[in-house]
Amino acid sequence: MLLLWLSMICLIPFDLARFDGNLASLEGQARQPTMDRILEIAKCYLVVSDKARDAAAVLVSK
């Protein structure tokens, strides 16, 4: 369900970078942008063989 919800969020015309804030973490290392983290999680679900794969495919395509 989360993957499908995220695919709907991707349709909203706003920049996800607004939610990134300061990309520097407390340790001084750079954090990944929000969209990169979402894509990383979706790619993990593309290899499973259930409904999560379908939802991840929709998310990645959008």
Give SS3 for 17.
helix
Q: Is residue 3 part of a domain?
A: no
CA distance 31 to 37: 10
* Domain total in the chain: 1
Q: Is residue 27 part of a domain?
A: no
Q: Is residue 10 part of a domain?
A: no
- DSSP H helical ranges for the chain: 2-9, 34-45, 51-61
Where residue 14 falls among pLDDT bands split at 50, 70, 90? low
The answer to whether 42 touches 7, Cβ cutoff 8 Å, is no
Q: pLDDT digit string (tens) for 26-60?
A: 566 667 777 788 889 889 989 998 888 888 888 88
Q: Is residue 58 part of a domain?
A: yes
Tokens representing 47 are: 């290899």
Q: Please say if the pLDDT value at position 21 is more than 70.
A: no
Residue 44, domain extent: 32-62
**In degrees, to the nearest 5, what angle opens at C-alpha 23 toward C-alphas 21 and 62?**
75
